[in-house]
């Protein structure tokens, strides 16, 4: 049932609140993000105005029967969509977040990633496992001005993430962290880092614990951003920890439960990545199809050739299937239903469709599609990461197969 009481409503039936968020984010992306996309990609740098805009942007919009805090009518905080209003957030639904990520990704996948990781991983971990004191302190910061970063991957622990070597040794009321991390999203802009470190390597992954580390902590160093193929405006940096002293009070949740928290957050995070890949692919498709209707060859529009029509129809069908998988997984989360298999399916399929869609769009546009004077090649470059991060495609297939095995 939807909030309007519609029985068995289609997956693309949105509440008033969800439509407001979708439209507001679309406007923000088109008016404020779009003019800076090319520059940010070229410079591998997110503009400060975009980060600031993600924390507070929006219009005064009418809303009938909205349950959100009235401040939502003035400003939609995209970095705090799911954070409760009492901590300064928007207090909207998980599905609203997925719609926001999709709309941002239609214009720029890097901006969508910044929003996605902040909400689905960083904010969610603190909301689910923080003490009331931690929530009051950190969620308020994350809702208004602070970018957060999730630190799990290392040089020797990518897909095998729980083989991490970063250690945290207890010394009185503190822990001393030593080690390094790689491929850390948002690191360049973040002030708060959720660091996974092992307090007892003899216990294996059951010693992994989550620590809240501030950017200015002595011994903590953020390395040079990686020079990447795509999502170039999203910072990805290595981190080093040399005798980093962290108070025991900065442990998030329970000692030794970090691996559980990581798994839980990444399961939801994969739906966010599915939305990012879906939006990216749709944005590329939306740019390319009008071109095929304008370009004349052999006396007629490219779109009038049946061979191209069939390709366009096939891609459009795959996009719709990816959207339904993604929306279904998001609705399952909201309904507190089992969603792990559906999240893996959505992330896997949307990533594959993004790669196919962007590749086809370059072919449909021909030479100009291959040129950096047009945005299609950037969509193509940005799409590749979808099959790699937050669980590579083969890891998603492993998860799906494991759950099917258990089902039968």
Q: How far is CA 316 from CA 67, 106, 278, 313, 370, in A?
A: 35, 15, 11, 5, 21
Got the DSSP string for 31-59?
IIIGGGHHHHHHHT---HHHHHHHHSB--
Determine the Cα–Cα distance for residues 304 and 286; give it in Å rounded to an integer: 17
* Residue 93: HSE in the Cβ half-sphere, 13 Å Cα cutoff: 24
Q: Write out the two tokens for 111.
A: 């901006």
Q: Out of 18, 47, 154, 390, which one is annotated catalytic?
A: 390
Q: Write out the two tokens for 216.
A: 């200015």
Which DSSP symbol is given to 118? I
Q: How far is CA 364 from CA 286, 310, 319, 373, in A?
A: 13, 12, 17, 16
377 annotated active-site: no
Q: Are β-strands 148-151 and 167-171 bridged in parallel, bridged antiparallel, or unpaired?
A: unpaired
Q: Extract the runs of DSSP E, i.e. beta strands, from 283-361.
A: 296-297, 300-301
Q: Which residues are catalytic?
A: 390
């Amino acid at each position: 049932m939807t909030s309007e009481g519609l029985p068995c409503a289609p997956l693309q039936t949105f509440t008033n609140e969800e439509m407001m968020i979708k439209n507001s984010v679309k406007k923000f992306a088109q008016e404020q993000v779009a003019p800076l996309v090319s520059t940010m990609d070229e410079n591998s740098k997110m503009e400060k105005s975009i980060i600031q805009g993600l924390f507070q942007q929006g219009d005064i919009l009418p809303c009938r029967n909205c349950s959100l805090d009235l401040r939502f009518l003035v400003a939609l905080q995209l970095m705090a969509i799911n954070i409760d209003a009492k901590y300064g957030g928007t207090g909207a639904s998980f599905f609203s977040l997925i719609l926001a990520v999709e709309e941002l990704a239609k214009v720029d996948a890097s901006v969508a990633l910044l929003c996605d990781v902040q909400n689905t991983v960083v904010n969610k971990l603190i909301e689910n496992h923080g003490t009331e004191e931690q929530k009051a302190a950190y969620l308020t910061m994350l809702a208004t001005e602070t970018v957060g970063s999730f630190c799990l991957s290392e040089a020797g622990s990518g897909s095998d993430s729980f083989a991490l070597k970063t250690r945290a040794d207890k010394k009185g009321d503190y822990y001393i962290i030593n080690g390094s991390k790689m491929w850390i999203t948002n690191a360049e802009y973040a002030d708060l880092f959720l660091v996974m470190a092992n307090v007892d390597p003899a216990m294996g992954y059951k010693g992994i614990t989550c620590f809240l580390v501030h950017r200015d902590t002595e011994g903590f160093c953020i390395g040079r951003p990686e020079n990447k193929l795509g999502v170039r405006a999203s910072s990805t940096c290595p981190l080093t920890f040399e005798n980093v002293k962290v108070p025991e009070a900065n442990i998030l949740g329970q000692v030794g439960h970090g691996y559980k928290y990581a798994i839980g957050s990444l399961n939801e995070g994969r739906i966010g990545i599915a939305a990012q890949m879906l939006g990216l692919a749709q944005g590329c498709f939306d740019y390319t199809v009008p071109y095929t209707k304008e370009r004349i060859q052999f006396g007629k529009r490219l779109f009038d050739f049946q061979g191209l029509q069939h390709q366009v129809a096939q891609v459009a069908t795959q996009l719709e299937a990816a959207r339904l998988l993604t929306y279904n997984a998001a609705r399952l989360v909201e309904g507190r239903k089992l969603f792990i298999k559906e999240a893996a399916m959505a992330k896997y399929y949307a990533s594959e469709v993004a790669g196919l869609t962007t590749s086809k769009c370059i072919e449909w546009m021909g030479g100009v599609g291959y040129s950096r004077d047009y945005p299609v090649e950037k969509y193509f470059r940005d799409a590749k990461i979808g099959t790699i991060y937050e669980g590579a495609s083969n890891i998603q297939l492993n998860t799906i197969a494991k759950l099917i095995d258990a089902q039968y």
